[in-house]
Amino acid sequence: MYTYKYPRPALTTDALVFGFDKEQKKLKILLIQRKNEPFKGKWALPGGFVDMDETVETCVSRELEEETGLKIKKFEQLITASKVDRDPRGRTVSVVFWTLINADYSAKGLDDASDANWFTITDLPELAFDHFDIIHFAINQLKFRLSEKELFTEFFSEISVDDLKI
């Protein structure tokens, strides 16, 4: 086993799962209620510590399934959350992944989650860690991407395929 002179942060992943509720026509987010300290009873993004023998991509899918029962393999990396005091247990860096699915999937609290539920993004409960900041960042990214797509659609409508040949 190696030992190092300098302390190292723990590595975690968080799954930010947006769900579109077709009936209500609302964007929702999947959260888990923490069963254990720190922040016992508070709501959080599903996630956890990366095992020594797995990638962050494997970890985010595993943690989501362990805590909610949802099996999702397609995620996109959103942000690395590295605020120094984000976890009271010690220095922790989280690679946050996001995805968008239909919100008609039922989720339940499993493993170290006492509950799991969908919340509208305008009515979030009190959140653990820095998860409000992460969700706020994700919503701004989503707004940017939607507006960018509209701009690009307008721009590309005036360009033919032949114009794109190199």
Instruction: Find, among 15, 16, 12, 21, the residue nearest to 142 by Cα.
Output: 16
In the predicted structure, residue 148 carries a pLDDT above the cut 90: no
Segments of the chain assigned E as strands: 10-21, 26-34, 43-44, 47-49, 76-81, 92-102, 113-120
More confident position, 86 or 147: 86
- pLDDT over 90 percentage in the chain: 67
Torsion of CA 64, 123, 18, 102, to 10 degrees: 100
Which domains, and CATH codes, for the chain? 10-160 (3.90.79.10)
Q: Which helix (H) or strand (E) holds 45?
A: none
More confident position, 87 or 27: 87
- pLDDT tens per residue, range 98-140: 999 888 888 999 999 999 999 998 899 999 999 999 999 999 8
Cβ atoms of 138 and 78 within 8 Å: the answer is yes
Q: Is the pTM of this model over 0.75?
A: yes
In the predicted structure, residue 160 carries a pLDDT above the cut 70: no
Whole-angstrom Cα distance, residue 166 to residue 30? 44
More confident position, 102 or 158: 102
